[in-house]
Amino acid sequence: MRKTILTWCLAVAMAILPLTAFAEDIVIVIGSEPTTLDPHAADDGGEKAVNDNVFETLMVRDTEGNLGLGLAAAEPTQVDATTWEFKLQPGLSFHNGEPLDAAAVAFSVERMIDPELNSEQLSYFSTMAGAEVIDEVTVHIKTSGPDPILPARMYYFMIVPPEASQADSFAEAPVGSGPYKFVSWDRGNEIVLEANPDYRGGAPDVSKVTYRFIEEPGTRLSTLLAGEVDLVTNLLPEFMGQVPQAASMRGLEHPMVLLNADGGITADARVRQALNYAIDKEALASALFEGQAQVEAGQLLGPTYFGFNEDISAYPYDPGRAMALLEEAGAAGGEITLVSTAGRWLKDRELTEVVAGFWSAVGLNVDVQIYEFDEYLQRLFRSEDGQRADAIFVVSGNELLDADRSFSAYLAPSGFGASNSIDQLEQWITTARTEIDLDARQALYEQVVEYAHEEALLTFLLNINNIWGMSERLSWEPRVDGKMFVSTMSVE
């Protein structure tokens, strides 16, 4: 009888109290839908937002960015100049029961560098040459030359199950080892993950997380204010005072414009320099971002990155100088194409349009082309015929906090986002990658920074803050790298 009464009372209470009083699930809104859920295939922020919770890495970082142990049981050691040894925690497994052992790590390394995969992430792993299984929990990762930052690279490198990752469905239904398991993907609408009850250390507080994809920032705000969602990314600075909770932190994202040094109107360095002089970056930071951004110091690196050149600063705002350079280059009144996307990064469309406005103000005819994210990526990544738009807006992130990733991706001619064919840059960047003398390595990167600045291979813009809007019930501490680990969230 007592059990029956208690059951009846609980049912009545659940009918009367709001559902959120018992809810342990949350909804997160991101600006773009992932192009894939294969963690090795794409350089895609939407994919990472989801897969950071499904897959795991050998190394991790804390909220301040300090490197620590993930799947690794001990600090990695160098066996020789081109070999790093990693020891795994014993007894690990993937969600489908496959062992997460040295063989799985070696398989993941070989998969990442396989030319058939043609991974967009190779700029993060440019030195990886292979792997060798030593025993069940010991693996050697081989590099093409000495690589002093391989442990930091392993923070970004996700380990996949050898069997499940070979299935045709893996890119749409991933299998990992992390605190959350993949449940479903309703394309165009949502992705659902659920807590892994068998996760070492115990299941996380949030039992289910649903990811929704909303490009328009006003719509993201309205869903948060209506209580439909718990966390929105890329909250506009002007909305920070309207939401239940807002969080802002200087992040790792650097908006810039890639300029084609090989052809078109931007092949002339004077034109590229003019494009930099034409933009009032202080106004972008203060007016467009309401102080939630800092002017970039004339280079594709933040002050805390290895390779930062303290002697280089931002191009000053000088529209007169910009017009004189355009006239000198015979480009006054010329046409320039600017490719971009919308919804992926904070104020990406607005920033693109304001940049175009500054360029128009110095006499150029600017053709702004905004594409859906997957179409945009096809124009960002170097095509087989090498054809590039005059200018491509992109936001560069760099969790390695080392110049190699940024330079390998956007300045080395072999990089997926590079818009030049300058052999000297390739030589400097390749040499620096395997230079173990830190002073010599720093000097090489400073040469790259100086050259790229003088030649204006990019239009250098800002370093923007990460801004989130949160519901009243969500408790979460943002991270310097912008990652959203749901296992660190709770509902009150």
Amino acid in the structure at residue 437: D
Q: What is the pLDDT of residue 93?
A: 97
Q: What is the distance of C-alpha 330 from the center of its chain? A: 38
Q: What is the pLDDT of residue 17?
A: 35
Nearest in space to 471 (alpha carbons), one of 116, 176, 142, 221: 221
Q: What is the CA radius of gyration of the chain?
A: 24
User: What's the CA gap between 426 and 259, in Å, rounded?
Assistant: 17
Q: What is the pLDDT of residue 398?
A: 86
Q: What is the pLDDT of residue 385?
A: 57
Q: Where are the alpha helices (DSSP H) in 62-119?
A: 102-113
344-372 pLDDT per residue, tens: 888 999 999 999 999 999 999 999 999 99
Cα dist from 271 to 264, 393, 421, whole Å: 10, 17, 17
By residue count, the chain amounts to 492
List, in order, residues 6 or more apart from 151 with CB less than 8 Å away.
59, 67, 75, 76, 84
Domains delineated in the chain: 24-31+170-248+466-481 (3.40.190.10), 55-161 (3.90.76.10), 251-465 (3.10.105.10)
Cβ-in-10-Å burial (0-12, 13-18, 19+) of 311 comes to exposed
Q: What is the pLDDT of residue 2?
A: 38
The number of CA neighbours under 13 Å toward the Cβ of 437 is 5
Q: What is the pLDDT of residue 20?
A: 38
78-130 pLDDT per residue, tens: 999 999 999 999 999 999 999 999 999 999 999 999 999 999 898 899 899 99
- Report residues of the chain scoring pLDDT below 70: 1-23, 382-386
Q: Specify the DSSP class assigned to residue 402.
A: B
Q: What is the pLDDT of residue 7?
A: 36
Nearest in space to 276 (alpha carbons), one of 238, 318, 234: 318
Structure tokens at 335: 């046409």
* pTM for this predicted structure: 0.81
